[in-house]
Amino acid sequence: MTDFERIEQEALLEVLQAAKSYEEAALHNTEKVMQAFRKHMVSDFYLKPTTGYAYSDVGREKLDAIYADIFKTEAALVRSQFVSGTHALAVALLGVLRPGDEMVAATGAPYDTMQTIIGVPVKTPGSLADMGILYKEVPMVGAHVDLEAIKAALTSKTKLVHIQRSCGYSSVRKTLTVEEIGTICSMVKEINPQIICFVDNCYGEFIEKQEPTEVGADLMAGSLIKNLGGGLAPTGGYIVGREDLVELASYRLTAPGLGGEMGATLGDTAREFYQGLFLAPHVVLQAVKTAIFAAAVFSRLGYQVTPLIKDTRSDIIQAIRLETKERLCNFCVAIQSNSPVDAHVAPVPAQIPGYQDEIIMAAGTFVQGASIELSADGPCREPYNVYFQGGLTFEHGRIAIMSAAKMVGELNSK
């Protein structure tokens, strides 16, 4: 048996042990989805396309109601018109904030594309800063939120507290659990119940049995080409939360007075949204198992991994500290070459709108850029972390990770 074969077998045993709690969550969340489908009597009629203004699109309305039930919220806005998770987040923030309001980031500097929405460090045209919305950032202390500093940052002008669940491109902070998000929300509400607790939930859906909206979050948004799309949604995003806040967001998505009453569901999108949601708990489990496998393999190769194999996970992302640009690029090349689409293409670093540094992305996916499918990316800056996520099947993830391990391992031995 070669060293790589031994590492693979040991990693598989680690996955078998570590995945048990996530299998329980997948079962729980599958039952939650099925209950919502039964309650709203999903039928073939809901899966049909609509055109034009799409008034009285029953399939669209029922899907909103299903999302609201799953997330235990008053309302939901699930639309193909959201071009990305970043777009859904921007619509939510620009919908509820007004000039002179203050937003406090409770989890430190958000990831690159969120910085362009906020308008920091560069005041982007159309950003929150450009609209006269005040902004404060409370750095995390190592991997943890600083509750006392958040408390001190809140003022009479504070309208919204932003909580980023996932670690983003940080090499220090960790992903927050739902319990930790609940602690932040409780503390904020004790000081001022009117402050909106807003959660960026990208990459976090269906990892745990509960969602942030069940522990105090007033508003939450994310992407459908991540967890909730189940690998089938071709585009889209969602916003869930208090009815008044979701309505304000809907006016930003379409137009004041129109809100969520319009928006055609073209082509086969309705079926893909419904079926993707049905499959999502299982697909998320595949992605989590792939991430655990990646952590087990690369920790054995001597690389620093976050989270560790036995850490409690609250998203699908696995960070691996590769330490050099060459290793980062080679990892991404290996993932791309083991993808079902565009396997013949070699990714290279490039400057992409919304990011501060050159970034390399590997995503040979059926849906362009869908990070619930097997993908990897990372900014070309120290410590050259690669952020690996997704995997519609664990078998595919296993093959791709072992290929990346051999490529980076061979490079490391030179």
- Predicted confidence (pLDDT) per residue in 45-99, tens digit: 999 999 999 999 999 999 999 999 999 999 999 999 999 999 999 999 999 999 9
Task: Say what the pLDDT of residue 356 is.
Answer: 75
Q: Which residues contact 16 (CB under 8 A, 6 or more apart)?
A: none
Domain 3-27+279-412 maps to which CATH number in 3.40.50.10190, 3.90.1150.60, 3.30.930.10, 3.90.1170.10? 3.90.1150.60
Confidence of residue 128 (pLDDT cuts 50, 70, 90): very high
Phi-psi region for residue 108, left (φ > 0), alpha (ψ -120 to 50) or beta? left
pLDDT at 170: 74
pLDDT tier at 151 (50, 70, 90 boundaries)? Answer: very high
Alpha-carbon span 56 to 76, nearest angstrom: 16
Cα separation, 248 vs 260, in Å, equals 10
Asked which of 133-147, 218-232, 273-287 is least confident by mean pLDDT, the reply is: 133-147
CATH topology of domain 49-277: Aspartate Aminotransferase; domain 2 (3.40.640)
Please give the share of the chain, as a percent, with pLDDT higher than 90: 92
Mean pLDDT of the chain: 95
**What is the token pair recorded at 118?**
């906020």
The full set of domain ranges for the chain reads 3-27+279-412, 49-277
Q: Which whole number is the average pLDDT over 247-270? A: 96
The pLDDT, as a whole number, for residue 221 is 98
100 has a pLDDT exceeding 90: yes
At 292-342, the pLDDT tens digits run 999 999 999 999 999 999 999 999 999 999 999 999 999 999 999 999 999
Instruction: Kindly provide the residue ranges of all beta strands, DSSP E only, lying in 165-314, ordered along the sequence.
Output: 196-200, 219-223, 237-241, 304-306
Tell me what pLDDT residue 412 has.
Answer: 58
Nearest alpha carbon to residue 33 among 206, 270, 255: 206
What pLDDT sits at residue 352?
Answer: 82
Give the whole-angstrom CA distance, residue 226 versus residue 143.
Answer: 24
pLDDT value for 414: 43
The predicted pLDDT at position 112 comes to 82
Band the pLDDT of 353: cuts 50, 70, 90: confident
Give residues with Cβ within 8 angstroms of 202, minimum separation 6. Answer: 85, 89, 165, 166, 222, 223, 226
Q: Band the pLDDT of 191: cuts 50, 70, 90.
A: very high
Q: Which residues contact 182 (CB under 8 A, 6 or more apart)?
A: 212, 215, 216
pLDDT at 355: 73
**pTM score, whole prediction:** 0.95
The model's pLDDT over 237-251, given as tens digits with 9 standing for 90+, comes to 999 999 999 999 999
Q: How confident is the model at residue 214 (pLDDT cuts 50, 70, 90)?
A: very high
Residue 280 is predicted with a pLDDT of: 98
Report pLDDT for 354.
Answer: 66
Single-letter amino acid, residue 31: E
Residues 14-53: tens digit of each pLDDT? 999 999 999 999 999 999 999 999 999 999 999 999 999 9
Q: For residue 410, what pLDDT band results from cuts at 50, 70 and 90?
A: low
pLDDT value of residue 322: 96
Average pLDDT of 172-183?
93
CA distance 30 to 206: 9
